[in-house]
């Protein structure tokens, strides 16, 4: 055993004995874990919706033996809830991102700025359109750092992806003016923050086009699903056509004011089915209850830890608009953060690093610019050939993600659960 692995092993042993000592009287006897919010609220309403679709024998959104209504109804109600004119339901958040990027007619030669910490699909949607992803650092909100955007803009930049991660709105009042100044579009990705708002307006209604996911891990869910939202009829039409092999169907012609603005073009099939639409109608009706419960739980935890000496919490550009998905603390160093997590685990109140996303520039397939075809247009341009991803391209993002840990919230936590979270944080924080 060399010196380095000996020290590493000794460190692990020390941490293990520390957590063993702490388990003598843990705050909880069994681990407390947040679950999957939307599906925790599944009940007779979702069953009735699915049953209606089965009985109608009309699972396809455009036609069938009976007139299908589920997906169209979900779209209308979702647009209303988000406060936009148009909503398009699709098969996933990833599909929604592709609709948004294609809706903006972004393609080869174009560049899109996105945060270094977000989900794979943001990068994929840009590359699959043939455009070039340009990463910006995140800040202590875990979202794109508005001060790291402007110097990355080139004459080829077409859009900025403002992603609101883990329930926390991106600082849109800083991002949108930068976009306007340089004549760029804003794609709002609120996949992890459905129901959250920024300065009184729901996420998804701030940018030029917004997307969300309705997959199991998100606020409300049909297992898979996504939506595109916009106030711009032309963006909506291009997104809708892209999602349905270039066609615009009567429901969407009607939604877009009774006329077609564009000619057909090559598209794909991201159409949502009626089962998903029905489940999402039921889930949407529960959205405000779900997020109200999460927010109330997070508020109790914030209140319970705010006075801890020297505590630094995750940056919230609009505390009243965030969902409270997790209460995250900045420990300043990775070592101290990891000690905190080991201590919390021993208390059976596990804490986690920021989650639900990936540090994209360090993914090997991204660092090596791997695509299905060697002459993919993204990386054949001069800038595409020279741009460097990898850890050296996002040092601040890596540093921030290494310093934070938090406890994830659940809408079904009760007062006892949140009391235990506060008790565990207070106990472990004081000796971290």
Ligand X SMILES: *Cc1c(COP(=O)(O)O)cnc(C)c1O
Residue nearest to ligand X (CB): 93
Q: Which of 94, 143, 230, 283 binds ligand X (CB under 6 A)?
A: 94
* Three-class secondary structure of residue 386 per DSSP: helix
Residue 118 engages ligand X in binding (rule: CB under 6 A): yes
The rounded distance, in Å, linking the Cα atoms of 270 and 93 is 10
DSSP 32-84: -----HHHHT--HHHHHHHHHHHHHT--SSS-SSS---HHHHHHHHHHHHHT-
Residue 119 engages ligand X in binding (rule: CB under 6 A): yes
Residues near ligand X (CB under 6 A), total:
16
Closest CA to 237 of 82, 72, 85, 69: 85
Q: Which of 19, 58, 92, 219 binds ligand X (CB under 6 A)?
A: 92
In whole angstroms, the minimum distance from the beta carbon of 125 to ligand X comes to: 9
368 catalytically annotated: no
Residue 222 engages ligand X in binding (rule: CB under 6 A): no
Q: Which of 58, 157, 192, 219 binds ligand X (CB under 6 A)?
A: 192
For residue 16, the surrounding DSSP H or E stretch is helix 3-22
The rounded distance, in Å, linking the Cα atoms of 432 and 429 is 5
* Residue from 158, 218, 286, 427 carrying the catalytic annotation: 218
In whole angstroms, the minimum distance from the beta carbon of 145 to ligand X comes to: 16
Q: Which of 130, 167, 267, 356 binds ligand X (CB under 6 A)?
A: 356
* Contacts by residues 12-18 (CB-CB < 8 Å, ≥ 24 positions apart): 15/338, 15/339, 15/342, 18/339, 18/342, 18/343, 18/346
197: which residues sit within 8 A by CB, 6+ positions away? 169, 203, 318, 320, 321
The rounded distance, in Å, linking the Cα atoms of 261 and 258 is 10
Angle of CA points 414, 318, 300, to nearest 5°: 20
Instruction: Using the Cα atoms of residue 345, residue 327, residue 290 and residue 206 in order, give the sign of their dihedral.
Output: negative
The site map against ligand X for 224-253 (x = CB under 6 A) is --x---------------------------
Q: Which residue, 119 or 275, has its beta carbon nearer to ligand X?
A: 119
Residue 163 engages ligand X in binding (rule: CB under 6 A): yes
Residue 121 engages ligand X in binding (rule: CB under 6 A): yes
In whole angstroms, the minimum distance from the beta carbon of 93 to ligand X comes to: 2
Q: Which residue, 92 or 432, has its beta carbon nearer to ligand X?
A: 92
Please answer whether residues 290 and 411 qualify as being in contact, where contact means their C-beta atoms are separated by less than 8 angstroms. yes
Among the candidate windows 91-99, 152-160, 268-276, 338-346, which touches ligand X by CB under 6 A?
91-99
Residue 122 engages ligand X in binding (rule: CB under 6 A): yes
Q: Which residue, 226 or 411, has its beta carbon nearer to ligand X?
A: 226
Q: Is 56 exposed, middle or buried (0-12, 13-18, 19+ CB in 10 A)?
A: middle
Residue 191 engages ligand X in binding (rule: CB under 6 A): yes
Question: What amino acid positions are annotated as catalytic residues?
Answer: 218
Where do contacts with ligand X occur on this chain (CB under 6 A)? Answer: 92-94, 97, 118-119, 121-122, 163, 189, 191-192, 213, 215, 226, 356
């Amino acid at each position: 055993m060399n010196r380095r692995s000996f020290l590493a092993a000794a460190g692990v042993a020390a941490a293990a004995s520390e957590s063993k000592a702490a388990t003598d009287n843990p705050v909880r006897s069994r681990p407390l874990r947040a679950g999957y919010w939307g599906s925790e609220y599944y009940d007779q309403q979702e069953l009735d919706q699915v049953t209606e679709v089965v009985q109608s024998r009309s699972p396809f959104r455009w036609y069938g033996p009976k007139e299908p209504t589920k997906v169209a109804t979900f779209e209308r109600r979702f647009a209303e809830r988000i406060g936009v004119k148009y909503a398009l339901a699709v098969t996933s958040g990833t599909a929604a991102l592709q609709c948004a990027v294609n809706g903006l007619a972004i393609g080869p030669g174009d560049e899109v700025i996105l945060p270094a910490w977000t989900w794979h699909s943001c990068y994929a949607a840009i590359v699959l359109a043939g455009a070039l992803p340009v990463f910006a650092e995140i800040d202590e909100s875990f979202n794109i750092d508005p001060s790291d955007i402007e110097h990355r803009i080139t004459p080829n930049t077409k859009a900025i992806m403002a992603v609101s991660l883990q329930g926390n709105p991106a600082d849109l009042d800083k991002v949108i003016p930068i976009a306007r100044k340089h004549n760029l579009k804003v794609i709002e990705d609120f996949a992890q923050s459905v129901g959250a708002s920024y300065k009184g307006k729901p996420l998804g209604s701030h940018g030029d086009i917004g997307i969300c996911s309705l997959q199991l891990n998100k606020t409300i869910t049909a297992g898979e699903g996504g939506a595109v939202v916009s106030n711009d009829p032309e963006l909506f039409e291009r997104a809708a056509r892209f999602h349905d092999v270039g066609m615009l169907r009567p429901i969407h012609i009607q939604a877009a004011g009774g006329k077609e603005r564009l000619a057909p073009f090559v598209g794909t099939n991201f159409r949502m089915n009626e089962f998903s639409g029905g489940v999402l109608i039921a889930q949407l009706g529960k959205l405000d209850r779900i997020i109200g419960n999460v927010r109330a739980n997070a508020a109790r935890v914030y209140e319970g830890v705010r006075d801890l000496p020297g505590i630094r919490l995750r940056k919230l550009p609009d505390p009243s608009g965030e969902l409270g998905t997790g209460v995250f603390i900045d420990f300043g160093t990775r070592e101290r953060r990891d000690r905190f997590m080991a201590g919390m685990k021993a208390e059976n109140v596990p804490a986690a690093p920021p989650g639900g996303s990936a540090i994209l520039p360090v993914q090997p397939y991204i660092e090596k610019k791997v695509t299905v075809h060697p002459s993919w247009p993204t990386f054949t341009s001069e800038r595409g050939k020279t741009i460097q991803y990898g850890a050296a391209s996002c040092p601040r993002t890596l540093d921030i993600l290494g310093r934070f840990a938090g406890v994830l919230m659940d809408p079904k936590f009760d007062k006892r659960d949140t009391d235990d979270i506060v008790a565990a944080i207070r106990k472990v924080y004081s000796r971290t």
